[in-house]
Amino acid sequence: MLTLKKSLTLFLIFSHLNAFVLGGVSNVYAANQVVDTTKSPTTFIDTTANGVDLINIANPNSVGVSVNHYNKFNVGNQGAILNNSKVMGTSQLGGAVYGNPNLNQNADIILNEVGSTNRSVLNGALEVFGKNAAVVIANPNGFDCNGCSFINTSKLTMVSGQSRMSDGAITGFKINNDLTSDFIIHELGLYANNTNDVDIISRAIKLRGELQAKQDLALKQGNDYYDYTTGEVKSNTNAAPIEFGIDISHLSNISAGSIKLIVTEKGAGVNTADGDIITDLSNLEITADGDLVLKANLSSQTDINLTSHHGDITQSGDIKAAQNIDINANQTYQNEGKDTIAQANLAITANTVNNQGGQLAAGGNLNIAVDTLNNTRTIRKTIRKTH
């Protein structure tokens, strides 16, 4: 009888605590997330007292990966929480949050994968509660990010594709080559200011708003496969051609410690509208098989590397590096009256260089390897310092 009374008391305490912490309970459905219970029978959704979605992730496997399958994975304006804590505590978004009953250990990687035909719409913050973890969102239907941000996330990977796993570890992703599965950052932007590594992978990446990351930011375009271990993106030649794999067609600022914009598909290029692309710790790299159309101002505290393997590079914004600038165009490098200034070395390789009123300057070596040079302004080795 004493044992029964003790158990009943504990149940009543837990029920009271649950009612305090949670606004409601749903094992299968929440407005923004729908768990695929056939593949993830233990993952379930709750709501905190202040109305934030609480995702109780599955227990991680032997290599630390929590695998969670959904029919729908969205983040509303109020945000959402990935519960990676075994004990009760206080989250930034949701206030008091109980420990995830699924967990025997904390996850190192939290995989969130959509298996339906729904795009992921991310309009708020996604917080990892408990031990920080790498967050992966895989959705072959694409993404719309409009004011999304990330809290307590050590690494962020968002890919328009389906995961591939071996012995419990994520090995890579099969990228959906349908152009409707694009990744779009809308006017309210994407902010990962406290996340060290951010990788966005899709066949088509479109920026309409600001993009910020703490350290390493990479936008990677391809139509075939993304290797999660090496970060390499592969493309094949079977897909219909596209002009720009990365299209920054509105005023959009991008800032991070280092930035890579990489387009691997044959003939596809990078287009940047007016704005600023800035790195404050390491290199800025823009590489494509096709054309680079660079209207944005590019700035780096170290090096800037621009490469078009089979196309032209057209510059109509300033390019300035605290160290080196390396420009490689398979065909023509066109400077439309803007400054290209390297505090150390400047190297330009192209079949043709058209410098129409722009300043090409280096504090160290200046090397221009071309067949044809058309120049209407200064090319000089010494840089005048301005204050």
Cα 205 → chain centroid = 10
Domain assignment present for residue 15? The answer is no
Domain assignment present for residue 192? The answer is yes
Domain assignment present for residue 361? The answer is no
Residue 136: give its domain's CATH number.
Answer: 2.160.20.10
Residues in the chain predicted with pLDDT less than 50, given as ranges, are 1-30, 384-387
- pLDDT at position 381 is 66
- How many domains does the structure of the chain reveal? 1
Domain assignment present for residue 212? The answer is yes
Domain assignment present for residue 377? The answer is no
Domain assignment present for residue 259? The answer is yes
Domain assignment present for residue 314? The answer is yes
Read off φ and ψ for residue 209, nearest 5 degrees.
-150, -175
Domain assignment present for residue 292? The answer is yes
pLDDT tens, position by position, 89-115: 999 999 999 999 999 999 999 999 999
Amino acid at 125: A
- In this prediction the pTM is 0.91
pLDDT tens, position by position, 300-324: 999 999 999 999 999 999 999 999 9
Domain extent, residue 299, equals 22-344
- Exposure string of 345-373, with b = 16+ CB inside 10 Å and e = fewer, is bbbbbbeebbbeebbbbbbeebebebeee
- pLDDT at position 217 is 99
- pLDDT at position 9 is 30
